[in-house]
Chain A
């Protein structure tokens, strides 16, 4: 499988490690009143779509960047690869 890295171009997937659903970017606020419920949802409840899925990949044997990869779980077709930092900033995060 080839992942088309936004900075480095097409790279073999053996250089990457997989973390999981992109929603892991949105870590809940631990000080919130319902933090326990939020963290339960964050840690354990995950959609398992048959089709397009946004997921976090780490270019461990490359430039060590976190990527958001849009992959079709039925065909393994990768339609989009973005730098996770850019996406987090678009969602209003400072880092």
Chain B
């Protein structure tokens, strides 16, 4: 391993992830996840399904859904494509771990550095999100997941616990703007 003296920064640019409490809503910056997308290759549905069972041992989530097992959380992003999330501490090289399982049956793209994640926890989660995006977050059940737009920023919204706990994934380069949007909306409701 190459030795260097570079210091990792969180998406918001600090040493430690930000945590903001506004009324009864907590907005937490998360930098402890690694992220990859897997896309099934054309005509490889059988080896893909077998590899997915070996790697995750769960039923791949359908449109608008996520699923978790052990370290892995998967959510559907488009037909025959999923995003996979795992703890950074154990899966920093998530793309090569998955590539070893899926081999030629899937195209796997490392996504860790491209995304930021903010967790919203508390009763005001839904009233905050309904001011920001067109998705009906009040109707999202546990493990529902979808893509949408917040303040012109494309995001994934994953519902960890209905009405109470949501994860918002956005482009890391827009982390500051996305965080500002979340905090501003939260201040008007929480």
Contact = CB atoms under 8 A, between A and B. Distances in A.
Contacts of A79: none
B136 to A, nearest CB: 9
B151 to A, nearest CB: 12
Given A63-B78, A63-B79, A65-B78, A15 B63 contact: no
Nearest to A60: B154
A61 B149 contact: yes
B148 A8 contact: no
A7 interface: yes
Interface residues of A, number: 14
A46 interface: no
Contacts of A14: 134, 149
B66 interface: no
A8 B64 contact: yes
B79 A8 contact: no
Contacts of A9: 64
Given A7-B79, A63-B147, 16 more contacts: A7-B63, A7-B64, A9-B64, A14-B134, A14-B149, A15-B134, A15-B148, A15-B149, A61-B148, A61-B149, A61-B154, A63-B76, A63-B78, A64-B78, A65-B78, A65-B79
For the complex of A and B, list the 6 residue pairs with the smallest distance between their C-beta atoms, beginning with the closest.
Answer: A12-B134, A63-B78, A7-B63, A61-B149, A64-B78, A61-B154
